[in-house]
Amino acid sequence: MKHTVQAIVLAAGRSTRFHTEKTKLSQSICGQPMIVFSAKLLASLGIAITIVVGHEKETIQHILSRYQDIPVTYITQEEQLGTGHALACSQPLWDKENILVINGDMPLVSSTTIIDLFEQHQKNNACVSFVTSCTPDKNITQSYGRVISDNNNKIAIVEAKDFTGDATQYCCINAGIYLIKKDFLVNYIQMLNSNNANNEFYITDLVNIASENNKTVIKVSAPFDSIRGVNTLEELFIIEQIKRKELMHYWMNKGVRFLTDYNIHIDVDVTIGHDSCIEGNVYLKGKTSIGDNVYIHPFSIINNSTIQPQSYVGPFAYVKNNILIPAPAMTHKAVSTPKYNKQTNIHQVQQRHEEENGFSFTGARLVHHDILTEEQ
């Protein structure tokens, strides 16, 4: 695949439905910026990556510059005129037989979906192949384009704002992942127009053009949760919940026990040893490494830290910035609350507590004095 496929990642949009000033692609999902998910996926498959940037392009470039193992080429879409226009802007960089186009706001796409798309594309010698999904809930999919087929085997994609049919009848939606022969793109991309509700150039019209010209068009189905896009903060919330459950499922298969599933946060770079147990209201953040046979009690936050095997953490522990806890350890003993009476001044309480434990109370959390951060 890596010798015949080049990826174009669409990342130039203005994220208007987020109602925030910054690009949605910089939003964190389980500790990782959204744009990094698609970049890591493509890099793992050995596919050359070109990212179309525009709005907040410096932010996206800065984020990806921290991942030296992901080689990326950029092209700028100076004016955001739609997905078809974004793809056309990348034309000077096309150098592979097939062009894979994927939106940058799809953090749950798996390598299985991309490989399946490529294999079906090659098997059928298709001109255009694209990923679809089906779900009966029209409220969830109301922002997705609908895939329409007629009795003559013609296929078209109608964008959400232009669709006027019955969503329950046409439940097949367009995921926003395409594999297109470069020769077809070179010959037909100039046929795109902006005669639609958004006055934009749609990449989806390439499917319609290919079908009308009797080119081979292939649909490849994928589970809806794996192709969810992020257009609103509500969708971001839902996708992060799905990703957390994926991570928990992965670690359970490695011998880790979780005592609850709805109030545990795990970042993507966290590692956990077997025979460890995580109770509720626990946050495992950054590049935290949990050793084997570790027990983490409720209301504990561990950030960028290594917990040695056979350790006990919490409850109400706040550990950060590469603190190594030797085995065995009971951090809740190290941060016990001092006793005081009604006449005791609160500053005396804090001073005594700091002298005995090396920790201070800041609001409802614990901060270690030996490690200075901007947050403190």
Which domains can be identified in the chain, with CATH numbers?
5-229 (3.90.550.10), 254-368 (2.160.10.10)
Checking if the pLDDT of 346 tops 60, the result is no
Checking if the pLDDT of 347 tops 90, the result is no
Checking if the pLDDT of 329 tops 60, the result is no
pLDDT band at 252 (very low <50, low <70, confident <90, very high): very high
Checking if the pLDDT of 125 tops 90, the result is yes
Burial profile 345-360: b = 16 or more Cβ within 10 angstroms, e = fewer? eeeeeeeebeeebebb
* Dihedral (CA of 5, 240, 143, 139) sign: positive
The two tokens of residue 194 are: 């902006």
Our CA angle for 72, 73, 76, nearest 5°, is: 130
| Alpha-helical runs (H) found in the chain | 34-44, 57-65, 83-89, 111-123, 182-188, 205-212, 233-252, 331-334, 346-357
Q: Are the C-beta atoms of 55 and 12 separated by less than 8 Å?
A: yes
C-alpha dist (Å) from residue 309 to 57, 227, 306: 43, 38, 10
Mean pLDDT across 282-304 = 95
Please state which of the ranges 180-189, 324-333, 366-375 shows the lowest mean pLDDT: 366-375
Checking if the pLDDT of 66 tops 90, the result is yes
What is the number of other CB atoms lying within 10 angstroms of the CB of residue 139?
Answer: 7
Rounded Cα distance between 104 and 108, Å, is 11
Residue 147 pLDDT: 85
Residue 261 pLDDT: 80
**174-202 pLDDT per residue, tens:** 999 999 999 999 999 999 998 888 889 99
Please state which of the ranges 265-274, 348-357, 366-375 shows the lowest mean pLDDT: 366-375
Coil vs helix vs strand at 210: helix
Rounded Cα distance between 245 and 226, Å, is 13
On average, the pLDDT of the chain sits at 85
Rounded Cα distance between 283 and 55, Å, is 32
Q: Which residues contact 138 (CB under 8 A, 6 or more apart)?
A: 167, 168, 171
The pTM assigned to this predicted structure is 0.83
Residue 341 pLDDT: 46
Residue 326 has phi, psi (to 5 degrees) of -70, 150
Mean pLDDT across 79-91 = 94
- Where is mean pLDDT largest: 150-154, 167-171, 264-268, 314-318? 264-268
Mean pLDDT across 297-325 = 89
Please state which of the ranges 34-43, 133-142, 186-195 shows the lowest mean pLDDT: 133-142
Residue 260 pLDDT: 87
Instruction: Read off the amino acid at residue 244.
Output: R
pLDDT band at 145 (very low <50, low <70, confident <90, very high): confident
Residue 237 pLDDT: 95
Checking if the pLDDT of 215 tops 80, the result is yes
Burial profile 153-178: b = 16 or more Cβ within 10 angstroms, e = fewer? eebbbbbbeebeeebeebbbbbbbbb
- Where is mean pLDDT largest: 164-173, 175-184, 367-376? 175-184
Rounded Cα distance between 162 and 169, Å, is 16
Residue 357 pLDDT: 43
Checking if the pLDDT of 344 tops 80, the result is no
Mean pLDDT across 134-161 = 78
Checking if the pLDDT of 91 tops 50, the result is yes
